[in-house]
Structure 1
């Protein structure tokens, strides 16, 4: 039987970038799943404060060279990779000089949320999916972590729904407390709808506030994972109202629970195909 394939997409991961709890979860969970026999891939942005020499990043020429369109502008995408020898894992980094080569991550030196964080997020989300396609790899599950990945569920369920690389993929989204966030403005949805989906579908992301952004993402999500106990109450109410399936791990190291969930998705696909 083929291994279940899991794509982890995150904006932070230990030891490369550590902001909140996400970094540790995205470091340990993929390794635990790999040790249980799952096939995994991990994608994250190559922010400017990630030291290439210390972390031994190098460009993957065969994957680089794509252009990602955001707000009707072509933006070159460079793919780099680093290995975690102790875990036998590789991490793919998406790089772009204009969007990611800054000393700061989400806020400038004055503490202001970057005005183009909406563009940066869209570039990363679309670039991640295009990178997976170029890898020639089809995930059974796409597991998103952090607000920077917020448009991936919508892309998967609209623009990429008939793409052979993703047509059967299920979407999981882990929610966390205390995320570093400002506002993406209504232009987040507007720009996403320019090239890749119907404007009405992108409108689920509302005014780009934290709550609206996640309401948009969760409306395209198959299972919501509670990565923390104190999730925003409006999001909890929205999840209940829409009847979105939830998974509440018994702890951060509830790897058996995650493994059962991932396997369930792959099994469901296999059963559907055999009917």
Structure 2
């Protein structure tokens, strides 16, 4: 079976968030375990490290139409870690400082989607399934149902569209429909959204299957609170909407071998404490082995539940704890947490930046990882915390609900602490409950043992994706039409 992954970012070539981590690790896991020929197609950003570019080979040059424009498109190939990657080259669209956030993003990713499909015959590669990720690739299923519908090369190609975060849908001016897409008027309704054009809506309408990154999030986005205006459409696709929780690369994120943490360990409280001491010395906090250390590593945006932390920060700082935050984002939160660092220098350490080595050291050193998100499609922070045996404290939403289960003293089950309501004092009560367990050695050790036995590597999820591809292939052979 041939499966083409199409995405706008992928570790180690380009990254703004968790999407890049998924595309950088999931295809390899599926390919190795399930005999699927997976290839990945990405934009050739100017920011991709030069040593990768030097290894790429130009396969061909084609012309891609974007409305009346006829644009150059170079197709490059790279073999990396046992997989084949294709890169779509056009410096006008992709040689920029950032990946997204430009006035012409609609045009940039219209070009990319069109170029992906136009490149396939040139490469003599015919995927059985094209697996598209987020709004930047959402036009591909629409193109296959419209512009390419009569082309025999694409007749048997099926599409899977994965929603990584429904909040970001690719919504643009209605002028885009005529100026860029040039679909016939009958297809306007499949893209129209409150008078605008919505790329993601088009993918939900036209893909054979729609997936998202946790079972709970798949249920949540069919409700008004989480549905971002698309809940009724997602309800209509309910039978072909699948939630598969994300994983992480257990070889890369491995406290026993990770070269970016001060002391390697494997289920050793003694070695983990050495990392705490090293971090305290590194960031200027008082060196204390016994103090519970809380960590927050996140984008500083409202979605991540930061208003809850703001509301009780003084009460938190009044407890016998230490608190470290790493991340960048909205100015409001950056200024607030900087002020907390100045106000409580003996207890609070704030780093408005992102450094991978510091992040890993924080995971390895901390006792608790706080993630009180308002909504969370899957979340990677809690998975990394579990991998480094740091106890997550999360709100019960989306993937957090699917991966973290509250510790129960009576039967000593659970791998963290959770709270349901989006309420600051519910969160504070849960923190106090976690601190009580921290002081009870028997229960703390039982909790850490549970975490050690937790496994969120890609193995299980990769099998679910493989099974889904096989199911889709079977449905195609049986002649059933999903859309």
Distance 1:222 1:192, change over 3 A: farther
Query: Number of aligned pairs?
Result: 258
Aligned positions of 1:1-275 closer than 5 A: 4-35=1-32, 36-54=34-52, 56-61=54-59, 63-64=60-61, 66-85=62-81, 88-107=82-101, 114-177=102-165, 183-194=171-182, 197-206=183-192, 212-228=198-214, 229=217, 231=221, 232-233=226-227, 234-243=229-238, 245-252=240-247, 253=458, 254-272=461-479
State the SS of the aligned residue for 2:198. Answer: helix
Bigger Rg, which one: 2
Deviation, 1:217, is: 1.8
State the SS of the aligned residue for 1:204. Answer: coil
Distance 1:19 1:56, change over 3 A: same
Deviation, 1:19, is: 1.4
RCO greater where, 1 or 2, for CA within 8 Å and sep 6 or more? 1
Structure 1, residues 141-198: CA drift from partner, whole Å, max 9, x if none? 110012111110101112212323221122111101277677432233223442xx32
TM-score by length of 1: 0.84
Tell me the distance in 2 between the aligned counterparts of 1:265 and 1:181. 25
Contact in 1 for aligned 2:74/2:88 (Cα 8 Å): yes
Deviation, 1:30, is: 1.3
Tell me the distance in 2 between the aligned counterparts of 1:208 and 1:149. 21
State the SS of the aligned residue for 2:98. Answer: coil
Distance 1:89 1:182, change over 3 A: closer
State the SS of the aligned residue for 1:83. Answer: strand
State the SS of the aligned residue for 1:265. Answer: helix
Higher helix share: 2
Deviation, 1:267, is: 2.5
State the SS of the aligned residue for 2:230. Answer: helix
Tell me the distance in 1 between the aligned counterparts of 2:149 and 2:108. 23
The unaligned stretches of length 5 or more in structure 1 are: 108-113
Aligned CA RMSD, in angstroms, stands at 2.6
Deviation, 1:263, is: 0.9
Tell me the distance in 1 between the aligned counterparts of 2:30 and 2:237. 29
Structure 1, residues 248-273: CA drift from partner, whole Å, max 9, x if none? 11543311111111011222333449
Deviation, 1:129, is: 0.4
Tell me the distance in 2 between the aligned counterparts of 1:121 and 1:78. 15
Tell me the distance in 2 between the aligned counterparts of 1:27 and 1:241. 31
Structure 1, residues 4-53: CA drift from partner, whole Å, max 9, x if none? 11111000111111212211211222112211111122101011211233
